[in-house]
Homo-oligomer: A and B are copies of this chain.
């Protein structure tokens, strides 16, 4: 019904399976994944405008200054950020855009796009989260402890999200995420044009024009 795209922001605990979820969701359904800008060098096979927009430090900083980024952060000496123009173009074209970013960035997006849909991905419980982190086998117990400490902080931001998506069964999680986004198109706040059109039609009819 609504023609404008929905901007969905996906965050969640490290180990909640966000990456796997995003891959499965994009494989099955037609979403635009937002492309980030970065100052780090492209790795072999990475293409400008596909994996990232690769920018010089000067260019990135001038984007910060001219407020062309929805959110940005510096990480291990490099900038990473979400260009506003790309997201706006996709939304205007009616495409549903997904951003996978961490919590501080997500809250920043909500400030700039109040209509954004914020989804928080979580395992069914913390024992499961811990065993997923341990199961990766790539991280020391110290790193795992750090991630759990971080999760503890992140949990306090769950209430600022719109929906909690429990990732227990992957397929189910893909379907739930998809349905939540599909339904968002029916929200009153996404249908102001439709309401205006209906109101105008009724008014015209009342005045005997139809």
Contact = CB atoms under 8 A, between A and B. Distances in A.
Interface residues of A, number: 42
A166 B201 contact: no
B155 A194 contact: no
Q: How many chain copies does the complex carry?
A: 2
Interface string A30-56: 000000000000000000000000000
A199 interface: yes
A138 interface: no
Contacts of A148: 202, 205-206
A183 B119 CA distance: 12
A140 interface: no
Interface stretch (A61-69, A93-101, A105-113, A156-164): A156-164
Interface in A171-207: 176, 179-180, 182-183, 186-188, 191-192, 194-195, 197-199, 201-203, 205-206
A210 B158 contact: no
Interface of A: 1, 120, 122, 125-127, 130, 148-149, 151-152, 155-156, 158-159, 161-166, 176, 179-180, 182-183, 186-188, 191-192, 194-195, 197-199, 201-203, 205-206, 210
Given A1-B166, A152-B205, A155-B202, 13 more contacts: A1-B164, A122-B198, A126-B201, A127-B210, A152-B202, A155-B195, A155-B198, A162-B187, A163-B186, A163-B188, A164-B188, A164-B195, A176-B186
